[in-house]
Structure 1
Amino acid sequence: MAEGAALRAVRGCLAAFPREARELGWPESVPYLDRPPSPLEFYREWVSPNKPCVIRNAINHWPALEKWTSAYLREVVGPKVVSVAVTPNGYADAVFQDRFVMPEERQMPFMDFLDIVEKKVTSPNIFYVQKQCSNLTEEFPELVCDVQPDIPWMSEALGKKPDAVNFWVGESAAVTSLHKDHYENLYCVVSGEKYFLLHPPSDRPFIPYELYQPATYHISEDGSFEIVDEKTAEKVPWIPLDPLKPDLELYPEYAQAKPLKCTVKAGEMLYLPSLWFHHVQQSHGCIAVNYWYDMEYDIKYSYYQLLDSLTKAVKML
């Protein structure tokens, strides 16, 4: 009886914590700033309290905003072979058929990829330039001079340079499933729009995680996809829930979560704090660059780890 009462008390605390955190600290919508902040202001108002914001007029000076047309990209990158994620459904690194399925990483000329995005060539599959690990500097160095190697006021605020600078472009059907990163993330939209659904770290008790066999999409001889297990790899913890159409019968706790939604337009930048859960969609052909700055593994990280561990422990009982 005492153990049952204690477990109910812990469940109650975990359910109450996200609501209290929301009332005390999180905004009801993502704020928009009309100018980039000073390093001190940015750290004090946004990084330290771990709050997102959209920043306007921060990348107006980038040549990319005017130069990165299809014609320019074809001229500068065109025949170069690059890595493209290909899936049958637009979901890369996502749960499908009880597997955590990674995309086929296809090597192809960038101009061929552009032909597909521009519908000059039809394909039943979904193509997305999304390889991370600083793919802008590693695979597209021809474009680096059109942006910045880092965001100076962010680098000064954090006292470090970004770990990676990533280049993203793809079809509107390409969707990033709900997940979190251990980075302070600046997401800059060059053309088109990005649509973000965000959850603060305190929503962890409402967000399900399960372990999945990792697998990869492989194209078969007839052009269809098959899912091939990565048999030697350990199981991957991932979020099975689609926040756009959540199955509340399977995951009733998610009904208590209150996600924030925001649209980031061309010329705007989203500051996505570390440990925030995010789900991303985009307009067709949207081009973006994001900067990953490693987070500080400080008391905020320790608090999140405690919350994560307690949530997992309660679900096991």
Structure 2
Amino acid sequence: MEVENLAEQLCLEVRELSLGTSGEIERICGAPTSLRFLRDFVLPNKPCIITGAIDHWPALTSWTNSYLRASLWNQRVSVHSTPNGLADAVVDVDQLHCTTHLTSNGSLARGNESFSVQEEGYPVRGLCCPLDGQKSTTIDMHEARNTHILSAHGCEGDKGPCKFCAPGQRIYLIDPLQEKNLHYISKQEGHDDVMLLECNCRDLKSSSLDIHLKGQKKLSKDAVEIHDEESSLMTGLPIDTAHGLCRKEGSQQQAFFATAYVEHVPFPEALDMILHSSIGSGVAYAQEQNSCFLTEYSALSADADTHIPWATEAFGCLPEAVNLWIGNEKAVTSFHKDHYENLYAVIAGEKHFTLLPPTDIHRLYIKEYPCAHYEKCEGKFVIEQEKPVKFIPWASVDPYPPAELLSEARFKFPKYFNGPKPFTCTLQAGEILYLPSLWFHHVRQSPDLEGRTIALNFWYDMQFDIKYAYHNFLESLIVKL
């Protein structure tokens, strides 16, 4: 508790001494001198917005959709896709109950969209739960290879039991009957196959559980073993029986960290994917963090500077990477930090930034999450857990949860929602944001009249100096809380 209090004090003190308490970011008209930029912003690790510094870029007026199609008509580019617009993101299992459920034929549904299911681990032969008022619903996942079965435990008053494999691949077993559910685990003798059967209490009154698995096998009531929330389900990865999550030993994590499905397609096709993105069927984002502006998009390099002269002089080096980003309002970037000094320039549309200084790390509830990634199978998104299993520390906070989940988010993350104002800004076309190294940032976007948001960012190497050492020390303290 003492460390938490000291962290709160540090959070307030840095605002009083340097950053201000209004949550506003200072604006500069015109390109600053390298000396002013270094003295007033880089050394104090303080963000700013620069207007009028890139008005000479042809990209601001020439990058229409037709121009981009013509310039890149035969160029293959990297497209990162997810079913929900959340790439490199963590989704809390409790935040998904109201948006997704399993359909009676075993596919994942949200609205009118469906997904397939795939995880790493044990093959699943069948999974059953009460759904939409039915006593049982058979979900045949026989074709899902390397699937890991995760138990859920529901009780009266819960929103419903759930089965979860990773962020974005939201697999929920909604129980509209709101009665206590029991979960049955069965392992076929001599096999690693695991069956999870979830039935309403009333089903126990029948002589057998009327559940048919692939091959028309019926599992009788006497053939199953009942496990409560205190039970250990199976060997292998530890299982959180309360929420059905693969988790690190001793951890209470209830979510996964997932990266996007990446494909390389001709630019005109990539642009169409972006313009027709929709939650459920897929949200596309053209980007690759390997200086793609100078590689995949080199045909456009004459339309914008490949470095920011006054920043290059201040940092004493050219940027390590220049990245191009093309997306729409459905693509959202979760809270994270970069080990770069970042100059972020908007070409079309708007970017909406929510920023926290490195001293606010305790407010983001950094936890370690199991890693996973999206794949596509027969045109549908599936998600695979990384193998061997590995974990990554990531921020748990979504600063803009759906309205129906806001009160829950405030309860779970009081340090964020009840703390000092985050720094926020909207960056319009022709403006640059200086985003200092190690600052946490969450990014949303609004498209222009042509339906896209375009930005260039310049990553300059940060100095791994005493500030970096202090931040690592603070982070190590916070993680141990």
TM-score by length of 1: 0.92
In the alignment, structure 1 residue 163 sits paired with structure 2 residue 332:
no
Kindly indicate whether the alpha-carbon contact (under 8 Å) linking 2:7 and 2:359 is maintained by their aligned counterparts in 1.
no
1:277 aligned residue: 440
Kindly indicate whether the alpha-carbon contact (under 8 Å) linking 2:257 and 2:392 is maintained by their aligned counterparts in 1.
yes
The structure in which a higher percent of residues are helix is 1
Paired amino acid for 1:292: W
Structure 1 segment 244-283 matched on structure 2, within 5 A: 244-245=400-401, 247-254=409-416, 255-283=418-446
Paired amino acid for 1:206: R
Q: SS state of the match for residue 248, structure 1? A: helix
2:186 aligned residue: none
**Among 287, 297, 317, which residue is 1:130 paired with?**
287
Which protein has the larger Cα radius of gyration, Structure 1 or Structure 2?
A: 2
Paired amino acid for 1:259: P
1:22 aligned residue: 15
Q: SS state of the match for residue 3, structure 2? A: helix
Residues 117/9 of structure 1: CA separation in 2 closer, same or farther (3 Å cut): closer
Take 1:41 and 1:93, find their aligned partners in 2: how far apart are those partners?
35
1:67 aligned residue: 62
Structure 1 segment 1-317 matched on structure 2, within 5 A: 8-27=1-20, 28=22, 29-96=24-91, 97=166, 98-119=255-276, 124-221=281-378, 223-232=379-388, 234-245=390-401, 247-254=409-416, 255-284=418-447, 285-313=452-480, 315=481
CA offsets 1:199-240 (integer angstroms, 9 cap, x no match): 01111121211111111111122x321110111253111112
Take 1:129 and 1:193, find their aligned partners in 2: how far apart are those partners?
16
Paired amino acid for 1:264: L
Kindly indicate whether the alpha-carbon contact (under 8 Å) linking 2:370 and 2:392 is maintained by their aligned counterparts in 1.
yes
Kindly indicate whether the alpha-carbon contact (under 8 Å) linking 1:186 and 1:270 is maintained by their aligned counterparts in 2.
yes
Take 2:381 and 2:281, find their aligned partners in 1: how far apart are those partners?
11
Kindly indicate whether the alpha-carbon contact (under 8 Å) linking 1:56 and 1:269 is maintained by their aligned counterparts in 2.
yes
C-alpha displacement of 1:121: 11
Residues 177/122 of structure 1: CA separation in 2 closer, same or farther (3 Å cut): closer
CA offsets 1:140-183 (integer angstroms, 9 cap, x no match): 11111111121111010111110100000012100000000111
Paired amino acid for 2:387: K
Which sections of structure 2, spanning at least 5 residues, go unmatched?
92-165, 167-254
Residues 10/120 of structure 1: CA separation in 2 closer, same or farther (3 Å cut): closer
Q: With a CA cutoff of 8 Å and minimum separation of 6, indicate the structure with the bigger relative contact order.
A: 1
C-alpha displacement of 1:84: 0.1
Which sections of structure 1, spanning at least 5 residues, go unmatched?
1-7
Take 1:220 and 1:227, find their aligned partners in 2: how far apart are those partners?
10
Paired amino acid for 2:296: E
Kindly indicate whether the alpha-carbon contact (under 8 Å) linking 2:88 and 2:334 is maintained by their aligned counterparts in 1.
yes
CA-atom RMSD, angstroms? 1.7
Kindly indicate whether the alpha-carbon contact (under 8 Å) linking 1:167 and 1:288 is maintained by their aligned counterparts in 2.
yes
Paired amino acid for 2:468: Y
Q: SS state of the match for residue 66, structure 2? A: helix
Q: SS state of the match for residue 150, structure 1? A: coil
Kindly indicate whether the alpha-carbon contact (under 8 Å) linking 1:197 and 1:259 is maintained by their aligned counterparts in 2.
yes
Take 1:216 and 1:118, find their aligned partners in 2: how far apart are those partners?
23
Q: SS state of the match for residue 244, structure 1? A: coil
Moved more, 74-83 or 247-256: 247-256
Identity %: 44
Q: Between Structure 1 and Structure 2, how many residues are aligned? A: 306
Take 2:392 and 2:66, find their aligned partners in 1: how far apart are those partners?
40
Q: SS state of the match for residue 325, structure 2? A: strand
Kindly indicate whether the alpha-carbon contact (under 8 Å) linking 1:193 and 1:264 is maintained by their aligned counterparts in 2.
yes
Take 1:275 and 1:154, find their aligned partners in 2: how far apart are those partners?
17
Take 1:45 and 1:63, find their aligned partners in 2: how far apart are those partners?
29
Paired amino acid for 2:9: A
TM-score by length of 2: 0.62
Q: SS state of the match for residue 211, structure 1? A: strand
Kindly indicate whether the alpha-carbon contact (under 8 Å) linking 2:274 and 2:283 is maintained by their aligned counterparts in 1.
no
Residues 244/54 of structure 1: CA separation in 2 closer, same or farther (3 Å cut): same
C-alpha displacement of 1:193: 0.7
